[in-house]
Amino acid sequence: MKLGIVGLPNVGKSTLFNSLTKAGAESANYPFCTIDPNVGIVTVPDSRLETLATMYNSEKIVPAGIEFVDIAGLVKGASKGEGLGNQFLSHIREVDAIVHVVRCFEDANIVHVEGSIDPLRDIETINLELIFSDMEVLDRRIQRTIKAVKADKSLQAELEILETLKTELENGKCARSITWNSEDEQKFVDSLQLLTQKPVLYAANVTEEDLINNGQNNPFVETVKKFALEESSEVFIICAKIEEEIAELDDDEKNIFLEELGIQDTGLDRLIAASYRLLGLISYLTAGPTETKAWTITRGTKAPQAAGKIHTDFEKGFIRAEVVAYDDLIHCGSYTAAKEKGLVRLEGKEYIVQDGDVILFRFNV
């Protein structure tokens, strides 16, 4: 999973990125300190892996990973070359989802590029730049399709979708908020890789006090939540400053610190959970003497395609999957005991993999 962190300059983007990835991206109190997109990979916490590794005496544990891309602060006119230009928009096009950091705190010592705090204005500024970039993509595609329709009338339906999309974008609407009549239409729109089609998580960056109160008395947060609700996006509350402090602590110190604040999870934990929900992701598990590993797939994935995550040969030569639910396996104490109780199932090509399935794939190439 690849997430792009975007936002205006000085909203806490790079501070958040640093704390999430400990990658050391430069963070400073002036716009454009992030010159190149910083990339960092974090592991997805999963306590099941440790338990399985002990059961199977695995040599190593390989958790699932999330790649974060910290993209330079966008400003008005970025799609036309303002600020650092639209070169950074191409980096957003490569991600699975966008984490849009929105400043929801007042601080006279941290300059806001627009001179005041207004989350709705900031969100619309970023969205407009993404819309302008998408409209350029659509204009080129429409011109090509108009020419192609002359030779192939079946492309007329695609042309109508493209023109509808352009009209909606011209009205300031993001592609992800448009409802289509059929799954085929939606698949075609998805294939265009539009920036405004990508799912969004809004990270409301607040003060420590607001974090403890979950942003309940913060009018800026309420504004972001209302906007996100209208486009079926999700909002999570974060304090980049607190996350920066947490990143410097070991696990024991981290737990004590969170307990003192009255917070159960770190911002990273909440972000990962929200990302999985947003993208409809789950994890299945494999285990053996060599390694115990988590594999991230989309909910609804069938067994052969899940096997293909390990290696394309597994999918091509798929025969069957030996599956046991994690809870059943742990309850029985061993794979052999689970098999004796009939809890290990043989599943075929139509089996839909469930979160926590422990799977052994059989294949022949």
Task: Give residue-wise pLDDT tens across range 341-362.
Answer: 999 999 999 999 999 999 999 9
State residue 73's pLDDT score: 59
Q: How confident is the model at residue 31 (pLDDT cuts 50, 70, 90)?
A: very low
The DSSP code sequence of 275-320 is HHHHHTEEEEEEE-SSEEEEEEEETT-BHHHHHHTT-HHHHHTEEE
Confidence of residue 68 (pLDDT cuts 50, 70, 90): confident
- Cα 109 to chain centroid, rounded: 31
Give whole-number Cα distances, 349 to 151, 258, 301, in Å.
Answer: 40, 45, 11
pLDDT of residue 84: 44
Instruction: Specify whether the CB–CB gap between 123 and 102 falls below 8 A.
Output: yes
Q: pLDDT by residue (tens digit) across 151-206?
A: 989 899 999 999 999 999 999 999 998 989 999 999 999 999 899 999 999 999 99
pLDDT at 248: 85
Share of the chain above pLDDT 90, in %: 51
H-run or E-run covering 178: none
Across 104-126, average pLDDT: 80
Per-residue pLDDT, 27: 52
pLDDT confidence band for 87 (50 / 70 / 90): low
Residue 115 pLDDT more than 80? Answer: no
The lowest-confidence range among 19-23, 255-259, 331-335 is 19-23
Q: Find the largest Cα–Cα distance for the chain.
A: 69
Contact in structure between 42 and 68 (CB atoms under 8 Å): yes
Q: 221-235, 241-255, 280-294, 318-332: which range is least confident on average?
A: 241-255
The pLDDT value recorded for residue 83 is 45
pLDDT score of 30: 41
What stretch of H or E contains 52? helix 47-56
Q: pTM, whole model, 2 decimals?
A: 0.81
Query: 3-state class of 28 per DSSP?
Result: coil
DSSP element (H, E) containing 194: none
Give residue 34's pLDDT: 46
pLDDT of 85 strictly over 50: no
Query: Each residue of 99-130: b (16+ CB within 10 Å) or e?
Result: bbbbbbbeeeeeebbbeebbbeebbebbbbbb
Lowest average pLDDT, out of 35-39, 227-231, 339-343, goes to 35-39
Tell me: pLDDT of 32 over 70: no
The pLDDT confidence band at residue 12, using thresholds 50, 70 and 90, is confident
Is 142 in contact with 167 (CB distance < 8 Å)? no
Give the pLDDT band of residue 75 (cuts 50, 70, 90): low
Single out the residue of 64, 9, 44 nearest to residue 269, CA to CA: 44
- Of the chain, the percentage scoring pLDDT greater than 70 comes to 89
Question: What is the spatial distance between Cα 229 and Cα 242, in angstroms, rounded to a whole number?
Answer: 26
| Helix (H), strand (E) at residue 136 | helix 119-149
Task: Supply the mean pLDDT for the chain.
Answer: 87
Residue 114 tokens read as 């627009």
**358 by DSSP, 3-state: which?**
strand
Given a cut of 90, whether residue 295 has pLDDT beyond it is yes
